[in-house]
């Protein structure tokens, strides 16, 4: 039998999945929306960290993801979508992501991830096999241009990862796994 707590968790997870999904539309419309999100995110990243433009322009490839995350006391879950661009071929690979974790926290946030691949092997490995990593601690209280959040920059071998919050209110410290995979419908 499901308790009220479990039902609440399931409700928030399903709400999160619905918010982060691409929704309805044709393949071309969904691809267009993802590329529009990518352009918006990169414009913001370049404005906040101008040196990232040359870093991305000299890299073999990069990825941009949009993610929504819910943390309810001891559980965290999130889902999102994005695109990887190979700079040598100009090819886009559309991808999905999901995350789950445990830890202390509460909140909901909408955030973006930009990954810069410094080697072709790192990019190809990410596209072909996905990528899983974990660990997160952050604080954010942001709506539009109002509020603040703690932004991150991390290095994972041959990949630099930038994250920033679009909106949300969250205080959390979790251990979580994040999985990325190719979107069969959009590729």
**Per-residue pLDDT tens digits for 14-62:** 444 444 456 678 999 999 999 999 999 999 999 989 999 999 999 999 9
Percent of the chain with pLDDT over 70: 66
CA 182 to CA 113: how far, in whole Å? 16
Residue (of 184, 186, 187, 181) closest to 30 by Cα position? 186
Which range has the top average pLDDT, 106-120, 141-155, 161-175?
A: 106-120
- pLDDT of 52: 93
Question: How high is the pLDDT of residue 22?
Answer: 62
C-alpha atoms less than 13 angstroms from C-alpha of 102 in its C-beta half-sphere: 0
Listed range (54-63, 66-75, 140-149, 156-165) with the worst mean pLDDT: 140-149
Run of H or E including 154: strand 152-156
pTM, 2 dp: 0.76
Average pLDDT of every residue of the chain: 77
User: Do residues 136 and 150 touch, judged by C-beta distance below 8 A?
Assistant: no
Q: How many CB atoms lie within 10 A of CB 23?
A: 10
Tell the burial category of 139 from Cβ atoms under 10 Å away from its Cβ (0-12, 13-18, 19+): middle
């Amino acid at each position: 039998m499901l308790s009220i707590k479990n039902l609440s968790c399931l409700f928030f997870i399903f709400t999160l999945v619905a918010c982060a999904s691409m929704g309805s539309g044709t393949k071309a419309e969904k691809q267009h929306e993802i590329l529009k999100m990518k352009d918006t995110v990169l414009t913001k990243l370049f404005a906040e960290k101008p040196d990232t433009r040359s870093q991305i322009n000299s890299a073999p490839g990069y990825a941009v993801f949009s993610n929504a995350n819910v943390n309810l006391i001891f559980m965290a879950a999130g889902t999102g979508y994005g695109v990887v661009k190979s700079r040598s071929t100009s090819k886009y690979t559309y991808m999905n992501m999901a995350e789950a974790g445990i830890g202390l926290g509460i909140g909901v946030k909408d955030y973006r991830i930009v990954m810069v691949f410094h080697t072709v092997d790192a990019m190809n490995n990410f596209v072909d096999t996905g990528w899983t990593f974990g660990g997160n601690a952050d604080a954010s209280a942001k709506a539009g241009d109002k509020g603040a959040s703690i932004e991150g920059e991390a290095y994972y071998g041959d990949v630099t990862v930038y994250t920033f919050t679009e909106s949300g209110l969250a205080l959390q410290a979790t251990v979580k796994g994040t999985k990325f995979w190719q979107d069969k419908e959009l590729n």
